[in-house]
Amino acid sequence: MPEPLVIWRLTDGKPGHMQQTLGLAQALSRLTACTCLDLDLRERASGLLDVLMGRFPAGAGLPRPGLVIGAGHGTHLALLAARRATGARVVALMKPSLPLSLFDLVIAPSHDGLSESARVINTLGVLNPMQGGEKQPGSLLVLVGGPSKHVQWDDATVLHQVAAVVAMLGPEASWCITDSRRTPGSLSEELRRLYGERFQPHAGCPPGWLAARLLFTETVWVSEDSVSMVYESLTAGCRVGLLQLPAGRDSRIARGVAHLVATVRVTPFAVWQETQALQPALPFNEAGRVAPLVLARLWPGGAPSSVATD
């Protein structure tokens, strides 16, 4: 029996980056036997000298990897050092700050502006590990973000739209509202005052609360600054409405959201207000779509597990 593919998942401690690499690692594990090891670069970072010397102290004593993945600029030198030290293939998620030719594969959201090629796989948004489950009819979750360079944040606009959505719910509906670490404190307090026990502050949510909630939630309303939450909700198979805000500067992120609207995967509040209907959930699983492409491109000859034992 072939040995499992050993994956080193390099992390920089940033939740968004960790979600991306976790999404890819889990999708790969559903296709082939994998052993995934997490290496926290905050404990043992790598620099240019490690790349030049072909050493990777953070991996000392660990099983030799066949694949090393990382997301974020802080992982790029570590990816290259790990490849020099172990001979593993390396995959960078999101557009790297270093030349593409230094990586075996780059997986980047299309809004990063990279052309698809043998070395580049474009995705709709960033990868995530969400999975869909059996939806509870009538269940609803409102996700409120906060100030962002991509929008002009306005508490009153958000409160107005949340109130309109909630007003349409029947007394038997299962719903709640949660904020985020970017939500202004004054807005969180107003949400608590208005909605009482229906308001679940993010600081009080146990680990994994959101992922578990998205499994069975039928409809999710997301303030459009929270782009990662939009894609996670879509991946979980939820119908998604956008709480709209005045646009900020023209940005790659904003264009990505505009594409979701144009392809009728999400429903802006203004459209919902006119029609009282949300677009139905469509299949959306970018990590699951990308995983077989990763295996085929990095190991076109077959079983990737053989690389781990070279």
DSSP-derived secondary structure for 169-215: --TT--EEEE--TTS-HHHHHHHHHHHGGGEE-GGGPPTTHHHHHHH
Place of tokens 């719910």: 169
Indicate the pLDDT class of residue 309, thresholds 50, 70 and 90. very low
pLDDT at 305 over 60: no
Q: List the single range of 34-38, 43-47, 119-123, 204-208 with lowest mean pLDDT.
A: 43-47
Q: List the single range of 49-53, 187-191, 232-236 with lowest mean pLDDT.
A: 49-53
Indicate the pLDDT class of residue 307, thresholds 50, 70 and 90. very low
Indicate the pLDDT class of residue 54, thresholds 50, 70 and 90. confident
**pLDDT at residue 310, as a whole number:** 38
Closest listed residue to residue 309, CA positions, set 35, 8, 64, 62: 64
pLDDT at 2 over 80: no
End-to-end CA distance of the chain: 16
3-state SS assignment for residue 152: coil
**pLDDT at residue 79, as a whole number:** 94
* Per-residue pLDDT tens digits for 60-102: 899 999 999 999 999 999 999 999 999 999 999 999 989 999 9
pLDDT at 177 over 70: yes
Rounded mean pLDDT, 19-23: 95
* Backbone phi and psi for residue 165, each to the nearest 5 degrees, phi listed first: -65, -50
Listed in sequence order, the DSSP H helices in 30-173 are 48-53, 76-86, 155-167
DSSP-derived secondary structure for 44-61: S---HHHHHHT--GGGTT
Rounded mean pLDDT, 215-233: 94
Topology alike, domains 5-124+287-309 and 136-275: yes
pLDDT at 46 over 90: no
Domain extent listing, the chain:
5-124+287-309, 136-275
Indicate the pLDDT class of residue 13, thresholds 50, 70 and 90. confident
Q: Which CATH superfamily is domain 5-124+287-309 in?
A: Glycosyl transferase family 10, N-terminal domain (3.40.50.11650)
* Per-residue pLDDT tens digits for 276-288: 999 999 999 999 9
Place of tokens 């991946």: 235
More confident residue, 249 or 259: 259
Q: Is the dihedral of CA 107, 110, 113, 115 positive or negative?
A: positive
- Tell me which CATH code domain 136-275 carries: 3.40.50.2000
Indicate the pLDDT class of residue 111, thresholds 50, 70 and 90. confident
Q: Collect all residues with Cβ–Cβ distance below 8 Å to 152 and sequence separation of at least 6.
A: 245, 246, 247, 248
- Please state, rounded to an integer, the average pLDDT across all residues of the chain: 91
The neighbour count for residue 2, using CB atoms within 10 Å, is: 13
The CA distance from 222 to 137, in Å, is: 19
Q: Would you put residue 138 in left (φ > 0), alpha (ψ -120 to 50) or beta?
A: left
